[in-house]
């Protein structure tokens, strides 16, 4: 099994779609936090850009993140809000100090 890591997801909504994206992201928070192997799942918005959202996550392993991506609530998010996303990036970070 791989090591624990922090992930930062950046999602930029298409113009006019930020409310739909925000609501769909909000719906992901609680079920994601409840997943085994998830110790952090926090949703943020960019104070300077209302189209941009960040999710800061901490996962016990890459395998657990992959299970999250296959979960019913994440699949529902993609079906509901996938069309609202202009840009998506996921950075995986390893703690060094």
Domains, the chain, in order of start with CATH, read 5-93 (3.30.70.100)
pLDDT at 68 (0 to 100) = 97
Q: What are phi and psi of 78, to 5 degrees?
A: -60, -40
The beta strands (E) that lie in the chain are given as 5-13, 38-46, 49-59, 85-93
- Measured CA to CA, the distance from residue 60 to residue 47 in angstroms comes to 30
pLDDT at 1 (0 to 100) = 60
Q: What is the mean pLDDT of residues 62-83?
A: 96
Residues present in the chain in total: 97
In this structure, are residues 86 and 9 in contact, taking their beta carbons and an 8 Å threshold? no
What lies within 8 Å, CB to CB, of 5 at 6+ separation is 58, 59, 62, 92, 93, 94, 95
Q: How confident is the model at residue 2 (pLDDT cuts 50, 70, 90)?
A: confident
Asked if the model's pLDDT at residue 80 lies above 90, the reply is yes
pTM value is 0.94
Q: How much of the chain, in percent, has pLDDT values that exceed 90?
A: 98
């Amino acid at each position: 099994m791989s090591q624990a890591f922090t992930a930062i997801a950046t999602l930029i909504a298409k113009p006019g779609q930020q409310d739909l994206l925000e609501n769909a992201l909000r719906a992901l928070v609680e079920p994601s936090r409840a997943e085994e192997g998830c110790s952090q799942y926090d949703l943020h918005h960019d104070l300077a850009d209302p189209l941009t959202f960040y999710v800061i996550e901490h996962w016990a392993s890459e395998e657990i993140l992959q299970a999250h991506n296959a979960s019913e609530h994440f699949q529902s998010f993609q079906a509901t809000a996938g069309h609202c996303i202009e840009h998506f990036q996921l950075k995986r970070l390893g703690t060094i100090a």
